[in-house]
Amino acid sequence: MPDEVLNDISHRRYNPLTGSWLLVSPHRTKRPWQGAQETPSKNTLPSYDPKCYLCPGNKRAQGDSNPPYKSTFAFVNDYSAVKETQQDYHPETNKDDVASLLLQARPVTGRCYVLTFSAKHDATLADMTPEEIVPVINTWTRIYASHLSPSHPLNSQAAYVLSTIPENPDGEVTPPKHQLKNMQIFENKGAAMGCSNPHPHCQIWTTSTLPEEPGKELVNMRKYKSDTGRHLLGDYVKLELEKKERLVWENDSFVVVCPWWALWPFEVLIISKRHVRALVDLDDKERLEFAQAVQEVARRYDNLFETNFPYSSGIHQAPLDCTEEEAETSWFHMHFYPPLLRSATVKKFLVGYELMAEPQRDITPEQAAAKLRDCGGELYRKSLQ
């Protein structure tokens, strides 16, 4: 265990990926709760919903119809956050012009996709088997590979992936005409995370700029590599496997940990054990073992409070357009940020001190990891059927 005193005293922990600190207050878990509570979710959804715009064969909001797909299906988001083409905007900054210094804006172009995980409206990653999740990972991989820049250091891996992973029989998305910088794959699960449709799906946003979070991680991983000659997450994986205090689960290719610097109560990281720069570096065995890791996280989350556990998750990997150094610095990992704190009805809120000063958590990552380690086994709701 870390220094035992840290279980009882307030302290700050450093996040080397972002270069930020957070406050940990383990003694606060003893305080009474008199705040808002919500009704636990129950999985009463049908396997097919004729009104769902993501179910096979149904019409979407803009009038297009989905094919009668059996597994995954990807399409351009009908309400994309960024436009592929738009009016040019190239403002200049001038140190003598206060407005140009303080009111800065930069254009962002791109394309957003939606990818369904399953044809079943009532399925989640926790309900699916690893073998059923592999087609999701294969689709992520093919989309990433098809969007890489012509000069990308991973192009040979991408070409191999595109020649060996079968195309989706229900059609594939085509990359935009202009090269984009970054691809962010993410899932918002549950109404608590702002998900507007319960049909299992994720989103894939490709943009002409590198967003803040992966950008900060890349800067700090490059600095660590420059200072030590080693990979930040490579060292971190070895450290967590040695200490095992925050280790939730592992297989040959991946570890699942509650990171030392976790902000959310049951936040976890899936990290590749070897140096994987992006999805295209994974072989068939590793894609299956990545699917196993994803399923383990989703199932343990649901088992923890016996509820349909909400979270936001996302993959960080090498940008679509990057230098050799940036690609080699990247280390494949997946974040899971869940809001639930004490039960299916009590959430953590980012308010007050956390908005005005710095992030704060109560339960320690070591305590959270211990709880998640105890939540393996069959998905709880299978015994309720």
Give the model's pLDDT for residue 134.
98
Q: Are 339 and 345 in contact (CB under 8 A)?
A: no
Q: What angle do CA 11, 16, 20 make, to 5 degrees?
A: 55
Is the model's pLDDT at 36 over the cut of 60? no
Say which amino acid occupies 253. Answer: S
Q: Are 263 and 361 in contact (CB under 8 A)?
A: yes
Q: Which residues contact 117 (CB under 8 A, 6 or more apart)?
A: 72, 123, 125, 128, 133, 136, 200, 201, 202
Q: What is the mean pLDDT of the chain?
A: 92
Q: How far from chain centre, in Å, is Cα 189?
A: 11
Is the model's pLDDT at 347 over the cut of 90? no
Give mean pLDDT, residues 241-259: 98
For 303-324, the pLDDT digits (tens) are 999 888 999 999 999 999 999 9
What's the Cα-to-Cα distance from 45 to each of 52, 124, 130, 239, rounded to whole Å?
11, 11, 22, 42
Tell me the three state secondary structure of residue 44: coil
Q: How confident is the model at residue 2 (pLDDT cuts 50, 70, 90)?
A: low
First to last CA, the chain: 40
The lowest-confidence range among 44-48, 54-58, 237-241, 250-254 is 44-48
Give mean pLDDT, residues 284-291: 98
Give the model's pLDDT for residue 293.
98
Closest CA to 293 of 319, 320, 332, 239: 332
Which helix (H) or strand (E) element contains residue 202? strand 201-207
Which carries the bigger pLDDT value, residue 113 or residue 1? Answer: 113
Is the model's pLDDT at 129 over the cut of 60? yes
Give the model's pLDDT for residue 81.
95
Is the model's pLDDT at 39 over the cut of 90? no
Q: Are 267 and 337 in contact (CB under 8 A)?
A: yes
- Which residue's entry shows tokens 């096979």? 56
Q: Are 233 and 331 in contact (CB under 8 A)?
A: yes
Q: Are 161 and 141 in contact (CB under 8 A)?
A: yes
DSSP states along 99-157: HHHHS-----BEEEEEEES-S-TT--TTTS-HHHHHHHHHHHHHHHHHTS-TT-TTHHH
Q: How confident is the model at residue 195 (pLDDT cuts 50, 70, 90)?
A: confident
- Which residue's entry shows tokens 């509570």? 37
Residue ranges in 201-283 assigned as alpha helix (H): 212-228, 232-243
Is the model's pLDDT at 296 over the cut of 80? yes
Is the model's pLDDT at 38 over the cut of 50? no
For 54-88, the pLDDT digits (tens) are 999 999 988 899 999 999 999 999 889 999 999 99
The lowest-confidence range among 163-177, 200-214, 226-240, 364-378 is 163-177
Would residue 201 show up in a list of annotated catalytic residues for this protein?
Answer: yes
Q: Considering 201, 231, 316, 335, which one is annotated as catalytic? A: 201
Give the model's pLDDT for residue 1.
54
Q: Are 223 and 124 in contact (CB under 8 A)?
A: no
Is the model's pLDDT at 33 over the cut of 80? no
Give the model's pLDDT for residue 30.
65
Q: Are 154 and 280 in contact (CB under 8 A)?
A: yes
